[in-house]
């Protein structure tokens, strides 16, 4: 029997896509999720334990009982504006819980960790493009909470703890092409998700936050990546670590950006209908432009995206929004 993989947050949007790919690859997976934003139905493989990543007794028990040698850690709060309004919620759940998890991992002799980090650690990179060695200067508590976790991983690995890959995600969207799982996160704030809700009549209009940025059309520019490609990068990271690869911090994006208006246009192309929008002030904590320099992950892992196409990403998000299997 292969060693087990503990996936925290495996009932959430990104975690569930990774659990599915791991399960399909024949890995033995256990999900730990408190279901505060996740869905039990999203866990398509292995056992689901309902509980908190910060619960050390529970985590220690799972690590021992399931013979876990790798942890993939997704459990976190992820809403930037909320992190600005309630920073301590983010430091507790994203930073303190990670510390608890790492303590258990170290005590149980876990070998590898794959960590869900974020492009938000860069803040406002020069020229809007971030390389892994660009300065870390988060402009919101969400980014800071994740950066502190990266530092704990680095220092623990240096002290003989688990080797790790921290993947810095850019803007994730889309869903399982077979429609089994998707993004049903309540009170969504992410652009493509909100756009899909508007296009399916669940919201009246999409609000464009800021039209006066120093970008080609004045709206925010991001690097949108399909969740299936992102999930595949986690399996590549696992293979890397198992082969004895050194710990890494890697960007996970496609390396090109689209503005909010370009995303709106993609919805209009895909649906053949106008997407109702309203213009509003900038949103707190938003950088003007954030695009990955994504050369390193391709070079190191041979990671090859299969869904690098904005219209395809939008169509995939829309498909789930029209026929979700769970959630709204
Ligand atoms: C942020 C984080 C990202 C994290 C994600 C998870 C930063 C820079 N990025 O992405 O790392 O994984 O949250 O939540 O902190 N927009 C609108 N109207 C909307 C929604 C969004 O105009 O209704 C605009 C935003 O102003 C932004 C772009 O669309 O320019 C993307 O926003 P969003 O989808 O919320 O993601 P980020 O905030 O970029």
Q: Is the pLDDT of residue 188 over 90?
A: no
Q: H helices of the chain, where? A: 13-24, 56-65, 80-85, 87-90, 97-108, 141-158, 191-199, 227-242, 260-271, 295-301, 310-322
User: Tokens 């680095």 — which residue?
Assistant: 154
Residue 328 has pLDDT above 70, yes or no: no
Q: Tell me how far apart the 2 most distant CA atoms of the chain are, in Å.
A: 56
Q: Which helix (H) or strand (E) holds 102?
A: helix 97-108
Residue nearest to atom 36 of ligand 1 (CA): 190
Q: Is the pLDDT of residue 2 over 70?
A: no
The token pair that represents 50 in the structure block: 């309902």
pLDDT the model gives residue 31 = 98
pLDDT value at 162 more than 70: yes
Residues 246-271 have pLDDT tens digits of: 999 999 999 999 999 999 999 999 99
Tell me the angle at which helices 13-24 and 227-242 cross, rounded to the nearest 10 degrees.
Answer: 60
Q: Which residues form ligand 1's pocket by a CB distance below 6 Å? A: 78-80, 118-120, 140, 142-143, 169, 171, 189-191, 194, 206-210, 220, 222, 260, 283, 286-287, 290
Q: Each residue of 131-146: pLDDT tens digit?
A: 999 999 999 999 999 9
State the average pLDDT for the chain. 97
Q: How far apart are CA 57 and CA 49, in angstroms?
A: 13
* Domains recognised in the chain with CATH numbers: 4-172+224-252 (3.40.50.720), 174-223+255-322 (3.90.25.10)
Q: What is the pLDDT of residues 277-300, one digit of tens each?
A: 999 999 988 899 999 999 999 999
Angstrom distance (rounded) from CA 114 to CA 68: 13
Is the per-residue pLDDT at 84 higher than 80? Answer: yes
Per-residue confidence (pLDDT) for residue 187, from 0 to 100:
84
pLDDT of residue 186: 81
Check: CB of residue 124 under 8 Å from CB of residue 139: yes
Report the C-alpha gap between 234 and 229 in whole angstroms: 9
Q: Choose one of 12, 76, 78, 120 to mutate for the ligand 1 pocket test, by most ligand atoms within 8 angstroms of C-beta.
A: 120
- Residues 25-35 have pLDDT tens digits of 999 999 999 99
Catalytic residue among 13, 142, 169, 224: 142
């Amino acid at each position: 029997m292969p060693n087990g993989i503990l996936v925290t947050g495996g009932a959430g949007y990104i975690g569930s896509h990774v659990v599915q790919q791991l399960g399909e690859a024949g890995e033995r997976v256990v999900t730990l999720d408190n279901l505060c934003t996740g869905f039990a139905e999203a866990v398509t493989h292995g056992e689901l334990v309902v509980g908190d990543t910060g619960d050390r007794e529970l985590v220690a028990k799972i690590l021992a009982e399931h013979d876990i040698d790798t942890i993939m850690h997704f459990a976190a709060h992820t809403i930037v504006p909320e992190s600005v309004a309630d920073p301590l919620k983010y430091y507790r759940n994203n930073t303190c819980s990670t510390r608890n998890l790492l303590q258990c991992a170290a005590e149980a002799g876990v070998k590898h960790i794959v960590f869900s980090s974020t492009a938000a650690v860069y803040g406002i990179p020069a020229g809007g493009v971030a390389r892994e060695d660009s300065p870390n200067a988060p402009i919101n508590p969400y980014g800071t909470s994740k950066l502190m976790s990266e530092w704990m991983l680095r220092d623990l690995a240096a002290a003989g703890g688990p080797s790790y890959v921290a993947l810095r995600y850019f803007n994730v969207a889309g869903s399982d092409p077979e429609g089994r799982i998707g993004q049903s996160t309540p009170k969504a704030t992410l652009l493509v998700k909100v756009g899909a809700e508007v296009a399916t009549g669940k919201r009246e209009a999409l609000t464009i936050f800021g039209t006066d940025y120093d970008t080609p059309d004045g709206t925010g520019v991001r690097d949108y990546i399909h969740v299936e490609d992102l999930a595949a990068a986690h399996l590549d990271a696992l293979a890397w670590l198992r082969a004895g690869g050194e710990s890494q911090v890697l960007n996970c994006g496609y390396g090109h950006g689209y503005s909010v208006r370009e995303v709106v246009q993609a919805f209009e192309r895909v649906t053949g209908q106008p997407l109702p929008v309203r213009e509003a002030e900038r949103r707190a904590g938003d950088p003007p432009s954030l695009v990955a320099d994504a050369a390193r992950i391709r070079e190191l892992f041979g990671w090859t995206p299969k869904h690098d196409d904005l219209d395809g990403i939008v169509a995939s998000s829309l498909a789930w929004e029209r026929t979700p299997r769970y959630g709204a």
